[in-house]
Amino acid sequence: MSALRIEQGSTSHSAYDLRDYHAEVIEKHTLAVLVDNEAGVLARVIGLFSGRGFNIESLTVAEVNHENHLSRITIVTTGTRDVIEQIKAQVGRIVPVHDVHDLTVEGPSIERELALFKVEGTGNNRIEALRLAEIFRANVVDSTLESFVFEMTGTSEKIDAFADLMRPLGLVETARTGVAALARGSAI
Amino acid sequence: MTRQMTGAKMVVQALKDQGVDTVFGYPGGAVLPIYDEIFQQNDIRHILVRHEQAALHAAEGYARSTGKPGVALVTSGPGATNAVTGLTDALLDSIPLVVFSGQVPTFMIGTDGFQEADTVGITRPCTKHNWLVKDTDQLADTIHQAFHVATSGRPGPVLIDLPKDVQFADGEYTPPAKAKISHYQPKVKASIEEITDIVALIEKAERPVFYTGGGVINSGPGAAMLLRELVDATGFPITSTLMGLGAYPASGKQWLGMLGMHGLYEANMAMHGCDLMINIGARFDDRITGRIQDFSPNSKKIHIDIDPSSINKIIRVDLPVIGDVGHVLEDILKVWKSRGRKTADVSAWQKQIDEWRAVRCLTYKNSGSVIKPQYALQRFEELTKGMDRYITTEVGQHQMWAAQFLGFEDPNRWMTSGGLGTMGYGFPASIGVQLAHPESLVVNIAGEASWLMNMQEMGTAIQYRLPVKQFILNNERLGMVRQWQQLLHGERYSSSWSEALPDFVKLAEAFGAKGIQCSDPKDLDDAIMEMINYDGPVIFDCLVEKHENCFPMIPSGKPHNEMLLGDASTDGAIKSDGAVLV
Ligand SMILES: Cc1ncc(C[n+]2csc(CCOP(=O)(O)OP(=O)(O)O)c2C)c(N)n1
Ligand SMILES: [Mg+2]
């Protein structure tokens, strides 16, 4: 149950072969980390990232199994393959961590983020904002005569794209949850 | 069969149930209930140190010389912050420690109460794990877990923070057998495929070298025995890190000596030129690798380590194997024997190594009038070699010379601060070792500057009648700093003089110990024997050559094959890109 998922076997599975020749290419990976829901566990994970100079693009955490006091931390991180492997191994050896899954390499997965956007404006801008919101399937969850609050769920890229469109139309405030992710299929 | 008792009593009961016999500590308001319990029993002996840092280093000395976890007890606030250096030291050298700190009562946490510090926050990055216990019913279970975490997998320090009200309150005691089974169960055995791959590489290698580290010592004396069997049966040469000395005997035929920045020429050249590197329980530390890009360029590398995060962290290896050194070695031997104990012809490689040995890299210019530090250690080695001997060190040139000139025949006999390089480690560590081995000769090889960092422990040595010998190689310099300033900073010796030193003989006498001073090489043997034969603590002020440099040396940023030897020109040896490295 090694957190470092190096394939077992002969030297033909050497660590050299696991890496390609683009070792310097920065990749983005989504990690799902199952932890004991105890005081300070999030600080341990975050402290590891800051202490060792790793990146966090997004982080979400919530209890997912009340009976067994387990929480799931979803981390989107970037780094070379070496760095990503090192991050997984380092996170994997934190004592309250049960499991580290790299959803980016372990087969297809779904990632979703929820965002709220406050857009102020009147006239054409307001009409255009509403029209675009429909196209992006964003819901209006609050409105005044001069503003809307849109709610939208999707991949981070989709949310980025919507934010870009709203900016010239009067986007004044954004709140995002960070990524939640699960592997596809029935396996857990 | 559960029992009600106070949290303070639980601490003592759990320690007894964990087989602890010695606790190093220092009292204060937030741990008084525990001290009260310690007072009322005789199974656990409490050693009152003179500074909490020393409690931790003493516990490390105890742990490293016995293979058992060391235990320390400190109060809240300043007691806990003083423990931080010891925790970090133990973390970097993978030493199992269980440390208890007092804390303000739960209802005062967060109010900046008297002697309140966020101890779990401060110690989170310098422990393997830590706990703040807020409920007395959870306490015993947490302590048992703490011992499990400290000693399993890659060992390390853990800390339990104990608010005072939790110590006073009653709760239910859980004995170790009833404690929750932790999900923390690191993998100790390698797969048969991995073992077979290792053996296949061993069978084919023409220029092999074993590169071993502290992991062999941590895996226990059994692992060292298996290592010896494998090394002697294959006839492959073996080197070790500073941390691993003693796992393979220094008198062994295959022994190359220590490798690394101040390692032996033959060891570093063998690492550079090998075609198969078998890393057993070492972690490619920067003191070992030198310039990464040029590290052992033509070898296949096997790395056996219990910690997955050590794999491919610094050096990419061809065959990573996660497991406990002892288990893996046992399996390698089994499979290698069953396949007919094959090795390739390594005689050309042996011959090459003999040529490197013939360089005699530890040669130094001796003197008839001043004691050379190397000479002092050679004489010390000669006079104490066969004895039941434990060595600790401080940090600096003397430490590296000790590693070069002393020979270790067994594991757990050599205690030095490797990863953190903590000046002030050696003296308290010698106290911990002596407590664990009351009949043995325990000597701290020290530099005068390091030794002063925890000299208050003379009080502890006297109080507990610990005959620890403080062999100070006094060069009146922060010698290692001075050496770097000479090589790297244009001989500008900024603050590297040990000024205003005490009279060490009088200092010893002031504490009620024996002081010896020696400055003439002709008197040295007698003086060393006088130190050894004295039944009590001794401070030996050995006045040595002040400007001796420690060689060989791989300058920072250089590869293994660009070592500086003793008589080499050192001008401009270190380039500016190397100078930024530590
Ligand atoms: C606590 C601490 N502070 C600073 C250093 C940096 N340092 C490394 S060696 C050294 C000099 C040690 O002098 P001494 O103990 O006399 O030993 P020598 O090198 O002279 O043998 C210093 C200051 C350190 N390792 N630890
Ligand atoms: Mg000195």
Give all domains of chain A, ordered by start, each with its CATH number: 19-102 (3.30.70.260), 109-183 (3.30.70.1150)
Domain with CATH 3.40.50.970 in chain B: 3-178, 373-543
Asked whether the predicted pLDDT for residue A19 surpasses 80, the reply is no
Quick one: which of B370, B308, B362, B422 has its CA closest to B549?
B362
Our answer to whether residue B548 is catalytic in this structure is no
Our answer to whether residue B164 is catalytic in this structure is yes
Class of domain B373-543: alpha beta
Asked whether the predicted pLDDT for residue A16 surpasses 50, the reply is no
Per-block mean pLDDT, blocks of 10 residues, chain B (582 long): 89 98 98 98 98 99 98 98 98 98 98 98 98 98 98 98 98 96 94 98 98 98 98 98 98 98 97 98 95 95 98 96 98 98 98 97 96 98 97 98 98 98 98 98 98 98 98 98 94 96 98 98 98 98 98 90 75 63 72
pLDDT of residue B508: 98
* A37 CB within 8 Å of a chain B CB: no
* A12 CB within 8 Å of a chain B CB: no
Omega cis (within 30) before B552: yes
Quick one: which of B384, B333, B365, B419 has its CA closest to B540?
B384
- Ligand 1 atom closest to residue B421's alpha carbon, by position in its atom list: 25
Domain with CATH 3.40.50.1220 in chain B: 192-357
Residues linked to residue B470 through DSSP beta bridges, in sequence order:
B444, B539
CA of B480 to the centre of ligand 1 (A): 6
Kindly give the pairing relationship between strand A109-120 and strand A180-183.
antiparallel
Question: Does residue B18's CB lie within 6 angstroms of at least one atom of ligand 1?
Answer: no
pLDDT of residue B445: 99
pLDDT of residue A24: 82
Question: Does residue B398's CB lie within 6 angstroms of at least one atom of ligand 1?
Answer: yes
pLDDT of residue A1: 29
The pTM of the full predicted model, rounded to 2 decimals, is 0.94
Q: Report the side by side order of strands in the sheet with B45-48.
A: B45-48, B22-25, B70-74, B97-103, B157-163, B129-132
pLDDT of residue B579: 67
B324 contacts B306 by C-beta, under 8 angstroms: yes
CA angle B166, B171, B172 (to 5 degrees): 140
User: Cβ contacts (< 8 Å) between B154 and chain A: which residues?
Assistant: 93
Our answer to whether residue B504 is catalytic in this structure is no
Work out the mean pLDDT of chain A and round it to a whole number: 89
Which residue of A15, A92, A95 is in closest CB contact with B308?
A92
pLDDT of residue B36: 98
Quick one: which of B319, B25, B26, B374 has its CA closest to B200?
B319
Q: Read off φ and ψ for residue A12, nearest 5 degrees.
A: -70, -15
Q: Give the minimum alpha-carbon distance from A48 to chain B in angstroms, rounded to a whole number.
A: 8
CA angle B303, B64, B393 (to 5 degrees): 100
Q: Is A90 in contact with B183 (Cβ distance < 8 A)?
A: no
Asked whether the predicted pLDDT for residue A20 surpasses 60, the reply is no
Quick one: which of A158, A105, A93 has its CA closest to A132?
A158
B92 contacts B418 by C-beta, under 8 angstroms: yes
Classified by CATH at the fold level, domain B3-178 comes out as Rossmann fold (3.40.50)
Q: Is B191 in contact with A40 (Cβ distance < 8 A)?
A: no
3-state helix, strand, coil split of chain A in percent (to 5) is: 30, 35, 35
Residue with tokens 């996170």: A91
HSE value, Cβ hemisphere, 13 Å, CA-based, for A67: 0
Residue with tokens 């001073």: B517
Q: Give the minimum alpha-carbon distance from B238 to chain A in angstroms, rounded to a whole number.
A: 23
Residue of A93, A94, A97, A99 to mutate for B, most B C-beta atoms under 10 A: A93
Question: Does residue B422's CB lie within 6 angstroms of at least one atom of ligand 1?
Answer: yes
Q: Read off φ and ψ for residue B518, nearest 5 degrees.
A: -145, 135
Which one is the CATH code of B192-357: 3.40.50.300, 3.40.50.1220, 1.10.10.10, 3.40.50.12780?
3.40.50.1220
Which residue of A8, A43, A92 is in closest CB contact with B193?
A8
Instruction: Give me the helices (H) in B387-523, please.
Output: 397-405, 426-436, 448-452, 458-463, 479-488, 504-511
Q: Read off φ and ψ for residue B355, nearest 5 degrees.
A: -65, -40
* ipTM, two decimals: 0.92
B466 contacts B460 by C-beta, under 8 angstroms: yes
Between helix B397-405 and helix B479-488 the angle, nearest 10°, is: 100
